[in-house]
Structure 1
Amino acid sequence: MIQIRRASISDAPSIALLGRITFTETFSEYFRDQKDLFDYYERTFDVSKIRASLQQENNQYWIALWNELPVGYAKLKINSPIESIETDNASQLQKIYVMKEFLDQKIGKQLMDELMNSFMESHRSHLWLSVLKSNTRAIRFYERTGFKKAGEYPFQIGKESFEFYVLSFEKEKDTM
């Protein structure tokens, strides 16, 4: 029933739509002005932008299918240092989104496993991500995978301000 595979350029429309749906499910309640939300979608989940991102060597995407229907995706940015982690040898788990009705199917865990396998095979020492401070479900999910708090930062979308944690995972020295 569940299939996880590397995404291809032909998956760009599905990934763009999944991004919009899952972002709405998670964050729309925080927006007073729906135009700010729509403008963010147009900048972030535009099909041509996703298509271009899929073609970049520095990005890896996975897509999750439930009975052939796209229900989630993950994105790894291979080279992505950040100030709060003192290394230039870091990757970023940039996105891991699953449609709300499929969260209990452990699809997020399967996407995370694929992404972590790729990271562990790389020569990168750290993997980091950002997560909304109030998203306790996601924070617990990442902590179970071995991520620890490494910092925090504000993020602005339109008129709305958000507070994010930076979480980091460090490979053990003997696995690098």
Structure 2
Amino acid sequence: MEDIRISQASPEEVSVLQQIGKQTFFEAFAHCNTESDMKQYLDNNFSKEKVLTELNNPESFFYIVWDGPGPIGYLKLNTGQAQTDLKEADSLEIERIYVLGVYHGKKVGQLLYEKALEVAQLQHKSSIWLGVWENNKKAIRFYEKNGFVPFSTHVFRLGEDDQTDLLMRKVLE
């Protein structure tokens, strides 16, 4: 764990983001969704074209976390019109904090969250918000521990299944 570092992703790293995105999402949610819904979601949301489009959006920011030479997770942040729901000029959205399962409990998610906080502060944002699946109790506890509070909900479509995400916000000082 001494070789953990975070770097901003470049378009040349699109395949790294695809691989980590698919693997971490599958690890976290395959056990509670149908195989067909998972396949449809992974194929649609982690295609090279979709990830490259997101990566090239000037209002989105990707950061890869590495353990030595290997990628172990990533962070996706959105500002302005890239935000999935609110589109507030003074807020930053954490769309994804994805960490390989073998690194859970090793503070990698916390490092990525701290990177998001740093970016929000550098951009003079007044709040950070995110959506988290209502049944992902571990993630909800993580965000609550970091000062986020629920303020609304939205529908998250996974394949053919409509699920509910809690929207949570942290006001920055």
User: C-alpha separation between the residues in 1 aligned to 2:54 and 2:155?
Assistant: 24
Does the aligned pair in 1 maintain the 2:127–2:172 contact within 8 Å? Answer: yes
Distance in 2, Cα, partners of 1:166 & 1:104: 23
- TM-score normalised by length of structure 2: 0.90
Answer whether contact 1:74 1:97 (CA < 8 A) is retained: yes
Cα distance in 2 for residues equivalent to 1:75 and 1:154: 19
**Distance in structure 1 (CA, Å) of the matches to 2:94 and 2:143:** 11
- Deviation track 1:89-140 (CA, whole Å, cap 9, x = no partner) reads 3221011100000112211111111111001111322211001111111111
Q: CA deviation at 1:88?
A: 4.8
Q: Is 1:77 matched up with 2:102? A: no
The match for 1:24 is 26
Distance 2:104 2:116 in 1: 17
Question: What value does the CA root-mean-square deviation take over the aligned residues?
Answer: 1.8
Cα offset for 1:48?
Answer: 2.4
Number of residue equivalences: 169
Aligned twin of 1:155: 156
Equivalent residues in 2 for 1:120-135 (5 A)? 120-135=121-136
Q: Distance in 1 between matches of 2:163 and 2:113?
A: 24
3-state SS in 2 of match to 1:105: coil
Per mean C-alpha deviation after superposition, the further-off stretch among 91-100 and 22-31 is 22-31
Identity of aligned residues (%): 25
Paired residues for 1:1-176 under 5 Å: 1-32=3-34, 34-79=35-80, 80=83, 82=85, 88-172=89-173
TM-aligned CA deviation for residue 81 of structure 1: 7.4
Q: Offset of 1:46 from its aligned partner?
A: 1.0
Give the TM-score of the pair, scaled to structure 1. 0.88
Q: Distance in 1 between matches of 2:84 and 2:161?
A: 26
Report how far residue 10 of structure 1 moved. Answer: 1.5
Question: What whole-Å deviation, never above 9, does each CA across 1:3-35 have from its counterpart, x for those lacking one?
Answer: 111111111101111111111111112222x22
Matched position secondary structure for 1:104? coil
- 1:126–1:169 CA contact under 8 A, matched in 2: yes
Cα offset for 1:78?
1.4
SS at match of 2:105: helix
The separation in 1 between residues aligned to 2:85 and 2:157, in whole angstroms, is: 18
Q: How far apart, CA to CA, are the structure 2 residues paired with 1:58 and 1:148?
A: 24
Give 1:23's aligned amino acid: F
Matched residue SS, 2:111:
helix
Letter in 2 for 1:7: A
Unaligned runs of 5+ in 1: none
**How far did residue 54 of structure 1 move?**
1.3
